[in-house]
Amino acid sequence: MAQPVNGFSKLSKQDKINWLATNHFQNKEAGISILEQYWNNDAKLQALHDEFIENTVSNFYLPLGIAPNFLINGKYHTIPMALEESSVVAAAGKAAKFWQDRGGFKTSVLGSEKIGQVHFMYTGDTDKLKNFFNQIKPTLLKATEEITRNMRKRGGGISNIELRNKTEALDYYFQLHCTFETLDAMGANFINSCLETIAKTFKEEAQHYADFTSEEKNVEIVMSILSNYVPNCVVKAEVSCPIEDLNDDKGLSGQAFAEKFIRAIDIANAEPHRAVTHNKGIMNGIDAVVLATGNDFRAIEAGVHAYAAKDGSYKSLTHARIENGIFYFWIEVPLALGTVGGLTSLHPLVKLSLEILNHPSAKDLMQVVAVAGLAQNFAAVRSLITDGIQKGHMKMHLTNILNQLGATKEEKEYFVNFYKDKTVTHSGVINEFDRIRTNNG
């Protein structure tokens, strides 16, 4: 059972580990050894990792994989992917290979607007609030000039501030809805700094506004924070080909494959239980690239799933249709990403991942990430409507099962050959493993 501890953050790294070992590890020496095993041998590099977050005791590794052969807008890309789930990188690579002979992926950025809000309560006359806002809007923008100077020099900054009446949703609730262009930066710190300055200025100006009563002058600023829901920071990725070019799928004609594929998408639009898993598969591809490039995958997840429910029910992020004998498959997805600042300039593997992608701009990265999600979804749906998802997934998972069993190199080679024409199951692997171990003494 965990025990409370005072001043944990002030302990040295070694003292934190010793406390963990004493209070949580059955085998203290083994637990400490595992933590230290994942430290980087380069002390300077380890110190860098230690300072990314608080109370660091070790590093938690994820594999960094590579999915090559992505033809995007006529140029080949090699995509880095960081994640732990079996078959994702292989599926992405397989989809890339499939579409490189059919024109590749086409992408376009539909918008790059980001959002932040000042949330406040006001109990007075709404018309007076509107007049006040219209008068002080230039003052609010001027107050942020020091913060936005460098961003404005590069073509970004605050694009607009709106007063929004939200009292139908919550009594006395209003907001200053602010939109931003942050160029190649994700821009979280920039946006939040602007918002806090806007909020402070708004409150100060309200206290000196002659038309407000004493009660109306006491505007209550509740909070100032960016939003991870960015419906106007959207990218589109698509593939298309003549229906007859789809005819290499397990006995299905191109027409039958296209129709069945579209029905699978229609089901994800009609049934939220299916849509969640459908979109989770898309996020397998998206999150892996977002993580590899040092971006905030939690923010992306939250914004993407909100976007999937923007029409009132949770639906598929991808779409498909047949038109004039052509099969079209596409995704439109909000992605607020950055290629400068944060971990992009600190984490060595993040910097290397961006180098693999040829040092993309934020808009370039949006397009690559959207393609990874579309490719992953194509591979998943293609498997579901033909062989089923488990055949390919479990073959990739076979190595994990064998590692859990402590298989030797020779035993792994045996099982790869054994399952060439069989479906992998966890119990089947264990039974066969026990059999050959027994027979080999």
Which residues are known catalytic residues? Answer: 85, 280, 296, 393
Q: By the 8 A CB rule, do 260 and 52 touch?
A: no
- Hey, how many other C-beta atoms are within 10 angstroms of the C-beta on 108? 15
Which of 394, 373, 381 has the alpha carbon at shortest distance from 284?
Answer: 373
Which of 88, 174, 86 has the alpha carbon at shortest distance from 129?
Answer: 174
Question: What are the beta bridge partners of residue 335?
Answer: none
Distance CA 86, CA 233 (A): 30
Structure tokens given for 289: 């690239």
Q: By the 8 A CB rule, do 297 and 291 touch?
A: yes
Distance CA 58, CA 370 (A): 32
Which of 401, 365, 38 has the alpha carbon at shortest distance from 233?
Answer: 365
Distance CA 212, CA 404 (A): 70
Length of the chain: 441
Structure tokens given for 170: 């919550």
Distance CA 108, CA 366 (A): 9
- CB neighbour list of residue 128: distance below 8 Å, 6 or more residues apart: 211, 212, 216
- Local structure of 139: helix, strand or coil: helix
- Hey, how many other C-beta atoms are within 10 angstroms of the C-beta on 73? 14
Distance CA 49, CA 236 (A): 35
Q: By the 8 A CB rule, do 267 and 313 touch?
A: no
